[in-house]
Amino acid sequence: MPSNAELLEIAATVARRAAALALQRRRDGVEIAASKSTLTDIVTKADREAEDLIRGAIAAARPRDGFLGEESEAEPGSSGLTWVVDPIDGTVNYYYGIPAYAVSVAVVEGEPDPSTWRTLAGAVVNPELGEVFTAFEGGGAALNGRPLRVHEGVELPLALVGTGFGYDAEVRRRQAAFVHELIPQVRDVRRIGAASLDLCNVAAGRLDAYYERGLNPWDHAAGALIAREAGARVGGLGDAPAGKRLILAAEPGLYEQLDPLVQRYYAEWE
């Protein structure tokens, strides 16, 4: 079994290559390939091309590992490791030319299920800003090689909180209702549009906290490890790990202040 540092080297190398491709395709002009859960939930040709590149590179480097990507069929492996990939996280930003999208590559041990997996290494690359966020379990988190640490000692009324919204209009309405309740209690709210970057922003101290409901495993697999290795607490609904029903990431003291508000609202959701 390779070391976590060796796995991170693979993740970061592949993520950089895919990010360079995505940036070039953005410059060439982005074409929508299809819509998925709703008309606003789009996939571009670059999403698919980037995932093909990542999938092929990982199959060459780690042929017995599994693969779980946003844009292609899940592939079980025999090694006990699975690569969890969002080829372009922040697809809507990418389509509109907003420089807040990223390639997210993580490798997990065990079943590719956020409720049980153990994330060993992860890389998130924003090619527009030339930012490479990395972490491996027990190795700390870094931005372009420089160590990252969360903001500490922030009280709720001074917290800058990130969040996001789903593609379904009724889900967005309910998510916005919670923002309406939360926003007078914190410094401000930011909706950046890419969960992987939101989690990396918590790691970098650019956000004090981030929460969202409805994420897919590939949206948060790498970013959650990067946030945790930078000192954040990352959790989900109740005592569950981060998952589709909720992800919350913040420095532990702020997490304790924000968690009751988020849990009270989101525990009511199915």
Which residues contribute to the site for ligand LIP (CB under 6 A)?
70, 86, 89-91, 164-167, 194-195, 212, 219
Is beta strand 141-143 parallel, antiparallel or unpaired with respect to 146-147?
antiparallel
Shortest CB 5 distance to ligand LIP, Å: 27
21-36 burial: b if 16+ Cβ within 10 Å, else e: bbbebbeeebeeeeee
Q: Which residue is nearest to ligand LIP (CB)?
A: 164
Contact 42, 19 (CB under 8 A): no
Shortest CB 46 distance to ligand LIP, Å: 12
Q: Tokens at residue 116, please?
A: 């049980």
Q: What is the largest CA-CA distance in the chain?
A: 51
Q: Measured from the CB atom, is 37 or 78 closer to ligand LIP? A: 37
- 89 marked as part of a ligand binding site: yes
Q: Measured from the CB atom, is 86 or 137 closer to ligand LIP? A: 86
Say which DSSP state 267 is in. Answer: T
Q: Measured from the CB atom, is 4 or 91 closer to ligand LIP? A: 91
Q: Tokens at residue 99, please?
A: 């420089």
Shortest CB 197 distance to ligand LIP, Å: 8
Q: Measured from the CB atom, is 4 or 95 closer to ligand LIP? A: 95
Give the whole-angstrom CA distance, residue 118 versus residue 120.
6
- 88 marked as part of a ligand binding site: yes
* β-bridge partners, 86: 104
- 219 marked as part of a ligand binding site: yes
Identity of residue 24: Q
Shortest CB 78 distance to ligand LIP, Å: 28
Q: How many CA atoms lie within 13 A of 217 on its CB side?
A: 22
- 247 marked as part of a ligand binding site: no
* β-bridge partners, 76: none
Shortest CB 186 distance to ligand LIP, Å: 18
In three-state secondary structure terms, 209 is: strand
Q: Measured from the CB atom, is 194 or 249 closer to ligand LIP? A: 194
Could you list the residues known to form a binding site for Mg(2+), using ranges.
70, 86, 88-89, 219
Could you list the residues known to form a binding site, using ranges.
70, 86, 88-89, 219
